[in-house]
Structure 1
Amino acid sequence: MEDLTSIRRSLQFLCVIALFVTAYFAKDLILPVLLGFLLALTLSPLSRALGRAGISNGVSAALLVGMSGSIILLLMGTSASTIALWSDELPSIGAQVQSKLRGMADTVETVRRATEEVEKMGESAGAAQEVVVKQPGLLSSAMSTGMKLGGTMAVTLILALFLLASGNMFYLKLVQSFQTLSGKKRALSAVYDVERRISRYLLTITVINAVLGVFVGLFLWMLGLPGAHIFGVAAFLLNFLPYIGGVIGAVLAGAYAIISFDTVGYALLAPIGYMFLTTMEGQLITPWLVGKRLELNTVAVFLTVVLWGWLWGIAGALIAVPFLVVFKVVCENVTALHIFSNFLDNRVERTDLELGRDVRTASQDSAPPTSTGQ
């Protein structure tokens, strides 16, 4: 019996490794599919609201997905020219930051000189045989990235369109797979609970991040920072990364503000204001709107972001937390996975040991004092 248990655990461990290996090599296939499901879940409350208003699933799906695609294209179009200009000026940006941060620049210069000396030593040792690898041009790299991004967007939007237009078809298919009436009821209740909680969370977080992006863009625009709307879009995307995204956005805004403004003191207002807005959102607004039930363990969030960032890069890091919320809600509705949902939860439940200790303490406090003899 113990041998069967050890074999079963080994097989489960191998299956987990196989899933991660598959996800790593099948990124281009899995990523748009996962994004399509997340987009469909995010838009499902709006689709149901339109359905109650008498609009069919197909029409509401086309309206919502078309609106989402238009917003994405608009953001990309307004940001593309500025990002291209920044990429051309990247060497001069680095030089300007070094010139204004003179103390840090001295350290960087020392490291650069040491690196040059090491490179000269390597060149003198291998001067007889030198291999030059021609890197792909900037235009070809940009075209390849644009085609890949366009394909991902197309698959994501089309899949979300089909999922929203199908209505309750997949729920009915799931219910039909159970034999007993009680099993059908439990499955249907669990599916609707998962969809309701996840869709509300994703929609709420998306709206919060969009509002945060608007406020960040307006604040930086009031400071006079060029391309402030780019940092607004970046704040919207980076805020899907709890704790980490705000720091990254503040560092980027601070670096660009240093080269844009005359004084470093005034430039520091950009990262300070950025961090203030993200802190207010993370500590007050999001917990109040989302609620305690969907708060996640900080350690679990960090490890999930690191894992998905390693697997899929920036795209994986951005969808890590929404995916973790989906996984947590599913675990809460599946009895066999309750242990995982308990670990992912940010709430601390009182253990049986703590309850027993409290009971013993209360009984000792309520016991009458013993009399001592003369």
Structure 2
Amino acid sequence: MAHTAGPVTPVPGSPQTDPPPQRPFPRWAVIGIFAMLAVAGLAYAQTFLTPVILAFVLALVFSPLRRALERVRIAPGLAAALIVTTLLALLIVAVTALATPVRQWTADAPQIGAKLEERVRDIRASFGADEEGTSLGEVVEKVTEAAAPGEDDAEAPVEVVVQEESWLTTIASSGSAILIQFILTLVLLFFILASGDMFYEKMVHVTPRFADKRKAIRIAREIERKLSRYLLTITVINFGLGTAVGLAFWALGMPDPLLFGVLAALMNYVPYVGAVVGAAVALVVGLLTFDGLWGGVAPALVYYALTSIEGQFVTPYAVGRNLKLNTVVVFIAVAFWAWLWSIVGMLLAVPLLVAVRVLCEHVDALEPLGDFLSARGAEREKDDDEEEPPAPQGRVAA
């Protein structure tokens, strides 16, 4: 009689009962891959994303103005049309006023380059003269001539120079794309402002819990308030800086002081980098305009002094401690967005940092990131503000 084997009871500790050990989930690897893909996606979609994000940032800035117009019984559509039309008119006036000097500087670009090279050669010669009166430039020229092949040598190869496209040609070729992005920004800005508070209503509708609805609205309004106050304050400061630079350059006798005033106002929207670029431009034009080393350097020194006063005293006092950001993080953000989205990225770097910091202030999980983005000492000030006075322990004796 055949006996069938019954079910075998596994012995604890045997290979049949112990599952294979599971490795910990590599969360850091997933986060790294997601970050790289996000950066690649932002770079790939630059043409589309830059006008969209710029339009939303401008909408946050002008939303308080749109609500103020609504309170005087102006419809949202009409208020949006007034704001967009005013922006477009100001831009047209600025471009028209600056078109003539920019066209003149562009036409004189070859002569300016040759003159600048001559001035640099003179400055180097004045610093590099030896005891026998021979300048450093002459020494280099003599060495070059000695190393060059003479007439008795073999026939020298013919040098072929491939003429590259100038920066003016590059700008002209990309002018249509810039114009399309600008039109898309204004049109999208009009629709966002004309829709009123539709996005806030949608946010409340899709948020499930009542506490989350209030928190989402509070975060959105706080971002809007701080961003609009920051950009409005910075715009007023930049206008004053541009006026000061224009008047100072007019007093020094610099050509086209209005152009330099507008350049200083626009470049100051980019922290740190804008001041350096403006001072470099002032140095080049000063060397081309004035004779002597100190006369050419004076405009750059004046420009740097004015921007230093603005950056060290005016802006910290006007902006306040609530928007103080880590200077290293600001510089890295400007460099990153400049690499990613060029000029528009540099303009959006600080507003995006302000929005991220406000978000971190209202989300507990992101509070460490908000402390990292803040300036030195902001954590202690926040802790002091959050401290509540102790409750009174009875009556105070008269």
TM-score range, shorter chain: 0.7 to 0.9
Give 5+ residue unaligned stretches, structure 2: 1-20, 129-135, 382-398
Q: Which residue of 1 aligns with 2:110?
A: 91
Residues 1:256 and 1:137: Cα distance change in structure 2 (over 3 Å) = closer
Q: Residue 211 of structure 1: CA displacement? A: 2.3
- Asked which structure has the greater CA Rg, the reply is 2
SS in structure 1 at match of 2:325 = coil
More off after superposition, 296-305 vs 141-150: 141-150
Q: Which residue of 1 aligns with 2:270?
A: 241
Residues 1:53 and 1:255: Cα distance change in structure 2 (over 3 Å) = same
**1:20 is aligned to 2:20:** no
Tell me which amino acid in the other structure corresponds to 2:33: L
TM-score, normalization by structure 1: 0.81
Tell me which amino acid in the other structure corresponds to 2:123: G
Q: Which residue of 1 aligns with 2:88?
A: 69
Q: Which residue of 1 aligns with 2:287?
A: 258
Give distance in 1, aligned partners of 2:95 and 2:139.
39
More off after superposition, 27-36 vs 46-55: 46-55
Give distance in 1, aligned partners of 2:352 and 2:212.
26
Q: Residue 261 of structure 1: CA displacement? A: 2.5
Give the counterpart of 1:29 among 48, 53, 57: 48
Q: Residue 170 of structure 1: CA displacement? A: 0.1
**1:327 is aligned to 2:359:** no
Residues 1:127 and 1:75: Cα distance change in structure 2 (over 3 Å) = same
Give distance in 1, aligned partners of 2:228 and 2:284.
36
Give distance in 1, aligned partners of 2:206 and 2:141.
65
**Cα-to-partner distance string for 1:22-48 (whole Å, 9 max, x where unaligned):** 111221111111211122122222222
Give distance in 2, aligned partners of 1:134 and 1:321.
39
Q: Residue 224 of structure 1: CA displacement? A: 2.1
Q: Which residue of 1 aligns with 2:387?
A: none
**1:221 is aligned to 2:250:** yes
**Cα-to-partner distance string for 1:16-74 (whole Å, 9 max, x where unaligned):** 11111111122111111121112212222222222222222111111111111221222
The question of whether the paired residues in 2 share the 8 Å contact of 1:98 and 1:104 is answered with no
Tell me which amino acid in the other structure corresponds to 2:321: K
**1:305 is aligned to 2:325:** no
More off after superposition, 100-109 vs 52-61: 100-109
Tell me which amino acid in the other structure corresponds to 2:201: L
Residues 1:179 and 1:280: Cα distance change in structure 2 (over 3 Å) = same
Q: Which residue of 2 aligns with 1:279?
A: 308
Give distance in 1, aligned partners of 2:191 and 2:219.
22
CA RMSD of aligned residues (A): 3.3
**Cα-to-partner distance string for 1:89-143 (whole Å, 9 max, x where unaligned):** 23322332343342336778989999999999xxx9x969x99867558886443
Give distance in 2, aligned partners of 1:88 and 1:167.
46
Give the counterpart of 2:124 among 98, 101, 104: 104
Tell me which amino acid in the other structure corresponds to 2:71: R
**Cα-to-partner distance string for 1:303-356 (whole Å, 9 max, x where unaligned):** 1111112112233223222222222222222222222211110033359xxxxx
Give distance in 2, aligned partners of 1:224 and 1:92.
20
**1:159 is aligned to 2:188:** yes
SS in structure 1 at match of 2:174 = helix
SS in structure 2 at match of 1:179 = coil
Tell me which amino acid in the other structure corresponds to 2:283: G
Tell me which amino acid in the other structure corresponds to 1:301: V
Give 5+ residue unaligned stretches, structure 1: 352-374
Q: Residue 13 of structure 1: CA displacement? A: 1.7
Give the counterpart of 1:345 among 355, 374, 378: 374
The question of whether the paired residues in 1 share the 8 Å contact of 2:59 and 2:189 is answered with yes
The question of whether the paired residues in 2 share the 8 Å contact of 1:295 and 1:345 is answered with yes
Give distance in 1, aligned partners of 2:200 and 2:194.
13
More off after superposition, 215-224 vs 282-291: 215-224
Tell me the percent identity. 39
Q: Residue 276 of structure 1: CA displacement? A: 2.0
Tell me which amino acid in the other structure corresponds to 1:200: R
Give distance in 2, aligned partners of 1:137 and 1:271.
26
Alignment size in residue pairs: 345
Q: Which has the higher helix share?
A: 1
Q: Which residue of 2 aligns with 1:198?
A: 227
Residues 1:92 and 1:18: Cα distance change in structure 2 (over 3 Å) = same
Tell me which amino acid in the other structure corresponds to 1:233: V
